[in-house]
A = this chain, B = another copy of it.
């Protein structure tokens, strides 16, 4: 990977913890509606609403909040109180104010890489929220900028490379999702490093293995340096 010029880092669960906050939010939601269905059924219903709403809403916490509200309407057959709706909105707003806790070794790696590569953040999610998290993380200065993508399909990455004026063969993506951070990148001729996080959002799971010369898997972001 000696010719790499630009390195993009996924944000949530690659630079900082995120999925545990969503898990906690979903637990709160399940508890609110425990008289209507099992947690497993409720989580399945939220995911269905999220996926159904993706073409209109995209990713992020506002979309998640609206999908929770639709799930609640369905679970209760529209017999939900105004207070219940308000509690869902609060779950969403709480998520938008969670502290940003960096993963181990992140800052050390960025310090090592800065000046040698153009570093960017490439993430899905809410625009405002991701900008907030980068700002609060204290590592914003290591990056040229943040790219909030409406999706992470091949075309989204190709457009991003156009904006960065970077060839795919000079580009490395580092992230925790095989589906979003690895597959589309190797398909367009770029390089990818996968660092699994301890829990993965159901939507990001894939059920096959990836083997490719442009792809490496590591356990900890600290191992990135040795690969470059």
| Interface set of A (CB-CB < 8 Å, partner B) | 56-58, 60, 62-63, 65-66, 69-70, 73, 76-83, 85-86, 89, 92-93, 96-97, 126-129, 131, 144-145, 148-151, 159, 162-163
Q: Would you call B150 and A97 a contact (CB within 8 A)?
A: no
Which residues on B sit within 8 Å (CB–CB) of A66? 62, 65-66, 89, 92
Q: Would you call A56 and B86 a contact (CB within 8 A)?
A: no
Q: What would be 5 A-B contacts, judged by CB atoms less than 8 Å apart?
A: A69-B69, A69-B85, A73-B86, A78-B82, A148-B148
**Which residue of B78, B82, B128 contacts A86 across the interface (Cβ within 8 Å)?**
B78
What is the oligomeric copy number?
2
- Consensus secondary structure, chain A interface: helix
Q: A66-B62, A159-B145 are in contact. Are A80 and B89 (CB under 8 A)?
A: no
Q: Would you call B150 and A162 a contact (CB within 8 A)?
A: no
**Which residue of B78, B82, B92, B149 contacts A76 across the interface (Cβ within 8 Å)?**
B82
Which residues on B sit within 8 Å (CB–CB) of A93? 56
Q: Would you call B89 and A85 a contact (CB within 8 A)?
A: no
Which residues on B sit within 8 Å (CB–CB) of A79? 82
Q: From residue A79, how far is it (CB to closest CB) to chain B in Å?
A: 6
Q: Would you call A85 and B97 a contact (CB within 8 A)?
A: no
Q: Known pairs A78-B83, A127-B127, A127-B148. 12 more at Cβ < 8 A?
A: A57-B126, A62-B62, A66-B66, A69-B69, A77-B82, A78-B81, A78-B86, A79-B82, A127-B149, A127-B150, A131-B150, A163-B163
